[in-house]
Amino acid sequence: MFATKKQIAADNVGASFTDVVMSSTQTLSMGQQFEVERFSRAIDATADPEQLKALAKQLLQAWHTQKAATEWVKSQLL
C-alpha cells in the first residue's frame, strides 16, 4: 500500500515534533520522564481515533501554552 500525501505530511510533522520532544527530554527530571512514559503507554493503549485526535489537540494546546509562558518569563528577566 502506498502512503497518501496526508500520511506523508503527518509523518513529517510527527518526525519534527519528535525531534523537539527528544531534545527537550534531556532536561526532564526522572519523575517527569516517568510521567512521559506513563502517558505514552496510555496513548499507545488508546485505539479510538477520535479519542487520539482529541488528546492530540489538548497536547498541542498545552505545548503552545507552556511555550508562551516560557517566552513571557524570559522576557520578564531581560
Q: What are the structural domain ranges in the chain? A: 1-45, 49-78
Residues contacting residue 48 through CB under 8 Å, at least 6 positions apart: none
Query: Region 63-76: what's the mean pLDDT?
Result: 93
> Whole-structure pTM over 0.75, yes or no?
no
pLDDT single digits (tens) 20-67: 555 554 688 899 899 899 989 988 999 999 999 998 899 899 999 999
C-alpha cell at 19: 525531534
Q: How far apart are CA 46 and CA 61, in angstroms?
A: 20
